[in-house]
Chain A
Amino acid sequence: MSDQAPIPTEATARTLTLNMGPQHPSTHGVLRLVLELDGETVVRARPEIGFLHTGIEKECEQKLYHQVVTLTDRVDYLAPLSNNLCYCLAVEKLLGLEVPPLARWMRVMLTELTRLNSHLVWLGTHALDIGAMSVFLYCFREREEILRIFEMFSGQRMMTSYFRIGGLAVEPPRGWQHAVRRFVDTFPSRIDEYEELLTRNPIWLRRTKGVGYVSLEDLIELGVTGPMLRAAGLAWDIRKSEPYSDYDQFDFEIPTRTESDVYARYQVRLEEMRQSTRIVRQALEGMPSGRHVADAPGIVLPDREKMKTEMEALIYHFKIVTEGFRVPPGEVYQAVESPRGELAYYVVSDGGAKPWRVYMRTPSFGNLQALPAMIEGGLIADVVAALGSMDFVLGDVDR
């Protein structure tokens, strides 16, 4: 991973090589940046990744299809439900399985709450990096409410694994409407609070405006997706362009800016938070009734009650848990819009009970590649601002 120190030549003698990370608070995880500096200007930047590589894709090949869900949580630990959703949609497409409306809408509502959760962590830490400490405390106050909702649904705050192949893990808890309503009623005013602290704050403007510019063409060329593309003027959102899980039934807008700098990315994500709140409210008000899982006995675990009274339910339960279910051979590339951009799972089945290959096209990996383009030629003080505006998660990069 490390190179030998280069012998200084006429051209390089003027520059200083600075090693940033892998343990640095503003890299949000273990990312190593090798910066070549000329005075305060970054001449060359080289990101080194892999410190958090856990071999999740290899692990997926050893597990039954339904066991893989718990691994997908751990890829992007700020958006576990987006990963659950993407994986479940991919396997459901392989199986040709239709999930009931309640499960689809519940998935939309909870992934939007996940987006809010992720954006709140981004906003808090990004502002903290630039020096605005109080925003962090406000953001984590609201994040706590979201985590409580997750806990209510799944029993877990972060590694929820709430979406399963064929629907949801358990029935939505009694009284969930109350908790979600309380949140969506207060949250828009909370976004106003963040805006009051930052949007017209002269220090914030100076640190973010015109910083980290990359043209739209370069962003696409480098494989960047998500809010960064939208901040460069492209209204592309997979929720609109390739709707999944009933997203086409929701009314929301794709916010865009054209400046493609750190400030534009901030504005886009803040507006996305408002739009997500809109979606959550629509889901809350129009939530369909019915079952939370598909009627697919060999794939979906039976009710606990039925297992005590019906022989078939007991047999199915035993078979799913011990030997899983077989998935017809084939391959599927399922993309969803995660808080960071295009998240896609490429699942290949050979007809067995374990996936032959699970590839995760994670948004952070694609986005991080644009980092040199963003900071080369800029000042070293702007590196931290640019890093924060990318909103990557190292677990998502290294897998």
Chain B
Amino acid sequence: MLSRVLEQNSPAAELVAWDPEAVLDGKLDRGEVTLFIAPARIAAVCGFLKERGFTRLSSITAVDWYPAEPRFEVVYHLHNMRDNRRLRLKCRLSEGESIPSVTGVWRGADWYEREVWDLFGIRFENHPDLRRILLPEDWTDHPLRKDYPVHGRRYDYVREGGE
């Protein structure tokens, strides 16, 4: 599958030539290119692609494939504005694993990574300010996980001062 992507996609081919270990697999589906990247290499790979014209980070999100393992996919959508090309990078992570932050590559990755942390509970290493962004700071779970019920969890509220 990877070889077919590489034939048709020059940034992917350049990336493999630069660091063959980083690219685990590739996929060409409905005209969209997806590369599976080794999580530890993601920041370096993004830095490399940014220099090769993918100047804009469109978004970072995640998909939870629970109960499959590894359950999480962190998904990066890159955009090359000059050639109008889009590229999707994916990193597979298990529960509890963290991934390097790409805030050093794009400052705009800040909020997207905070959102993924908030809603999925995936930690980003070296993120300057990894706080919850949408939910209250004292929230205890990550609602976009598939094992989180859609109606929320029941919480037992304790009155201040105790009862």
A residues adjacent to B (C-beta < 8 A): 1-2, 49-50, 53, 55, 57-59, 61-62, 93-94, 96, 220-224, 234, 236, 241-242, 330-333, 335, 342, 344, 346, 348, 356-357, 359, 361, 365-366, 368-369, 398-399
Contacts and interface: CB of A to CB of B under 8 A. Distances in A.
Given A220-B56, A346-B59, 7 more contacts: A50-B134, A96-B30, A222-B108, A330-B29, A344-B59, A346-B61, A359-B75
Contact of A333 (B77, B109, B134, B148): B77
Interface in B63-80: 63-64, 75, 77
A368 B111 CA distance: 10
Interface of B: 29-30, 32, 34, 55-59, 61, 63-64, 75, 77, 81, 84, 86, 88, 106-112, 115, 119, 132-137, 143-144, 148, 150
A395 to B, nearest CB: 12
Contacts of A2: 137
A344 B137 contact: no
Contacts of B110: 369
A58 B133 contact: no
A368 B112 CA distance: 12
Given A94-B30, A223-B108, A344 B134 contact: no
Contacts of A55: 143
B52 to A, nearest CB: 15
12 contacts: A50-B135, A55-B143, A220-B55, A223-B56, A223-B109, A223-B112, A331-B32, A333-B88, A357-B63, A366-B59, A369-B110, A369-B111
B148 to A, nearest CB: 8
B108 A221 contact: yes
A102 B104 CA distance: 47
A356 B81 contact: no
Contacts of B63: 348, 356-357
Contacts of A346: 59, 61, 75, 77
Contacts of A234: 81
A366 B108 contact: yes
A332 B61 contact: no
Nearest to B88: A333
A2 B115 CA distance: 17
A344 B150 contact: no
Contact of B144 (A57, A94, A344): A57
Given A50-B135, A332-B32, A369-B111, A342 B58 contact: yes
A361 B111 contact: no
B137 A1 contact: yes
